[in-house]
Amino acid sequence: MLKEGFKENYGRLKFFINGEWIESKSNTLFDDTDPGTAELIAQVPVALENEVDMAIEAAFNAFKKWRDVPFRDRADYINRLRAAFDANHEILSKILTQDHGRAINDSKGTIDRCIENIESASGAMYSFYKGEYVEQLANGIDCYMMWEPVGVFLILTPGNIPMHAWSSFVPYALACGCTVIVAPSWQCPVASEAVFRVSEEVGFPPGVLNLIHVGTNFELNKRIISDPRVAGVGFIGSTFVGKQLFELCGNLGKRSSINGNGKNFIVVAPDANLDAAANYLLRGCFGMSGQRCLGSDNVVIIGNIYDEMKEKFLNAAKNMKVGYGFDKSVEMGPMTTKQNKEKVERFIEKGIKEGARVLLDGRGLKVPGYEKGYFLGPTIFEDVQPQMEIAREESFGPVSNLIKAESLDQAIEWINTTTDYGHSACLVTESGKNARKFIRECNVGNVGINAGIPQPYSFFPLGSKRQSFFGAAKSRFDSVRLFLDQKTVTVRWV
């Protein structure tokens, strides 16, 4: 079990480099707070350049040996990693709620998703890794294709899904024979450290896994990617930062998987089960306080069901229990940081200035006993037009825009043309014909039918398009194409 355990305050966090926890020499620190209480839970040093270089050196030296670890032995490490996550399921869930703010039941679901990714990485080894072989391709000639690990990768995880994002890249990299340097978001450093402490229990060779903190210092990430010993980057975060990383990788000839913002839609068709739709909307718009990659801002309601659907959704949202995540009856916790809360409040103000009407205002919410927490309640706009900025840019908070549409064709057109993003879209319907049309015509990477969150299982990629993704391979199972490269061998013995 996790030795460090759950604490009220974790003190000054350390780096994990070359198999050891080290104290940074940096005097530049940032604070990490519990978003439900606003109380300090850790102080985090920003790595010095020589500490960054130490992590690169450790990962590079470890790669030379890790790539040659026998296949079955490496698979055993991955299977033990799965067991470690399972054994520490409860403590990881608690730390995630403490550091991120999400409801404890959401945190438990997240650890389940992490375990699924580790299982998927193990499965990838036994399926994808085998290569291809053709005997007697020509007279006396055999030809085969083999997969080889690429090298050291920088993994950049976001504040909204610090553990899930880690599991969407790292287990696959390790299974493929690569080594990693993880530089997590400044928003959830305690949760990121907890993942490493669990991984430490597995006994990976020194340097295979490395953790540093860079805060908001993008130059340190550039330093890592620019080092010739580093092969590429796996990133989940904003499109703005992702584009800079993608350009840098392109200029340097490095591999990348860049997963950015979305502006997601849930469309409710006239034939939909409206009670079920209301539940999908609650989960899709307000789950994890709206800080979910596959969560939705835009709710498009088609035809004459608008008023009825609006009332059902509004009443359901009013009855959501918002509070501190450790209360098992809570459905929605706080925003992860004070900055995120203030950003969403500015988004709401923008919507009001654009002419949208507030049906439900989540600002100013105070949870008894947690008055200092970063809480926002569900917010619902109506009279939203597709050309408004709030309908085109992601709020990344518990905000929903109600938009009237005349037809499914019009809804699909808005999904494909009013925003540059192509992350996800859902349709609530009883019509197979309409569902098939929606699946085929929506220019997004993740489609849901009768769902609020089109979350694919880990052995499928997270399929984003347009300005939501750049790079060579998607995350999760597809990331093996990031971490492995092909080599063909032609042999003549006759």
Q: CB neighbours of 112 closer than 8 A, spacing ≥ 6?
A: none
The terminus-to-terminus CA distance of the chain in angstroms comes to 57
Residues 101, 200: contact at Cβ < 8 Å?
no
Kind plus residue range of the DSSP H or E element containing 380:
strand 379-382
For 113, the token pair is: 């998703």
293 is catalytic: yes
Residues 249, 255: contact at Cβ < 8 Å?
yes
Amino acid at 263: K
Residues 178, 149: contact at Cβ < 8 Å?
yes
Residues 91, 5: contact at Cβ < 8 Å?
yes
For 334, the token pair is: 């706080």
d(C-alpha 224, C-alpha 18), whole Å = 16
Cα three-residue angle 312-107-96, rounded to 5 degrees:
130
Cα three-residue angle 272-274-280, rounded to 5 degrees:
95
Helices H, strands E: what count in the chain?
A: 14, 22
Pairing of strands 399-405, 379-382: parallel
d(C-alpha 36, C-alpha 374), whole Å = 6
Catalytic residue among 176, 178, 188, 293: 293
Closest CA to 255 of 134, 168, 344, 153: 153
DSSP state, residue 288 = G
d(C-alpha 415, C-alpha 120), whole Å = 31
Active site residues: 293
